[in-house]
Amino acid sequence: MQQPFVGLYATYYDVLFPLDETELNFYCHWARHAQGPVLEIGCGTGNMLCALARNGFEVHGLDCSKPMLDLAARKAHESGLSLQLHHQALEALALPHTFSMISVSSCSFMFLTDYVQAQQTLTRLYDHMSLGGYLLISSFLPYQEMMSGVSGRQCIHDITLDDQSQLTVYQTVTYDSVHHTRTCVLDFELWCSGTIHQQEQHAFLYRWYGVEELMTMIKAAGFCDVAAYGDYQTLPLAADAETVIVVARKPL
């Protein structure tokens, strides 16, 4: 089994997860309030970073995947954009800078499956934040997915890349309701001229945090003005939101 965030997953990440304009507008909204350097944790191939840079923001990116950071660097170079990229894991965050806004994007915080480690990581984020700076953490709750019976192996992507190539991705999801964990196994098949050319399997383990639980953890790390939003809208969190974004500030 492949480690996640490399191989076919990294190569075709932009095809599988194109930049969402609503999400970009949400991050631009808070970056304008922050008025300073922005750090995106879980920046991947740099789609959001490059978009923020094109909107005039000073941006840094951090990711645990060297292949994805290499793609981000290449993308920035080809576009003439300036990015500061850092190869680190979220839980090992140690940079010689502070930031006016830190976003933990792509639900990356959910990869911290140990509660103590997650709380320690929030303290690290606090230490890397400028006074008055904004913290944004995206997450999701799998309850609707669980109730809809999404389990077992399902085809979630079947994408034609060009006249000769096609990418098929299957997903197998299992849940542990006691420990609030979700295991997602992705099977990649790269087809060339009707024949499977390459196969890979990537496994992801998430821990979901309840909205109030996550807000309480963020407050315990020292942040204030903690609020939750849904689906990248600057409106109060709706009950049927698929994505939760908790926004907080470091006190002045």
- DSSP annotation of 3 reads P
Specify the pLDDT at position 240. Answer: 86
Q: Does residue 150 register a pLDDT over 70?
A: no
Question: Would you say residue 2 has pLDDT above 60?
Answer: no
SS3 4: coil
Q: How far, rounded to the nearest angstrom, does the alpha carbon of residue 56 sit from its chain's CA centroid? A: 22
State pLDDT tens for residues 169-202.
999 999 998 999 999 999 999 999 989 999 999 9
Pairwise pLDDT comparison (144 vs 112), residue with the higher score? 112
User: How many residues are there in the chain?
Assistant: 252
- pLDDT of 144: 78
- Mapping DSSP onto H, E and C, the string for 5-43 reads CCHHHHHCHHHHCCCCHHHHHHHHHHHHHHCCCEEEECC
Class level of CATH domain 7-140+208-249: alpha beta
Give the pLDDT confidence score for residue 142 in this predicted structure. Answer: 86
Local structure of 208: helix, strand or coil: coil
Amino acid type, 167: L
Per DSSP bridges, beta strands 152-160 and 129-140 are: unpaired
- Note the pLDDT of residue 1: 45
Give the C-alpha separation, 195 to 100, whole Å: 50
Three-state SS sequence of 128-158: CEEEEEEEEEEEECCHHHHHCCCCEEEEEEE
**C-beta of residue 250 within 8 angstroms of C-beta of residue 126:** yes
% of residues, the chain, pLDDT over 90: 87
In this structure, how many other beta carbons lie within 10 angstroms of the beta carbon of residue 57? 20
Query: For 165-239, where are the alpha helices, taking DSSP H only?
Result: 211-220
Confidence of residue 152 (pLDDT cuts 50, 70, 90): confident
CA gap 10, 4 in Å, rounded: 8
- Most distant pair of Cα atoms in the chain: their distance: 60
pLDDT in tens, 101-135: 999 999 999 999 999 999 999 999 999 999 999 99
**What is the rounded average pLDDT of the residues 53-57?**
96
Decide: residue 92, CB within 10 A, 0-12 exposed, 13-18 middle, 19+ buried: exposed
Q: What residues have CB less than 8 Å from 176, skipping those under 6 apart?
A: 182, 183
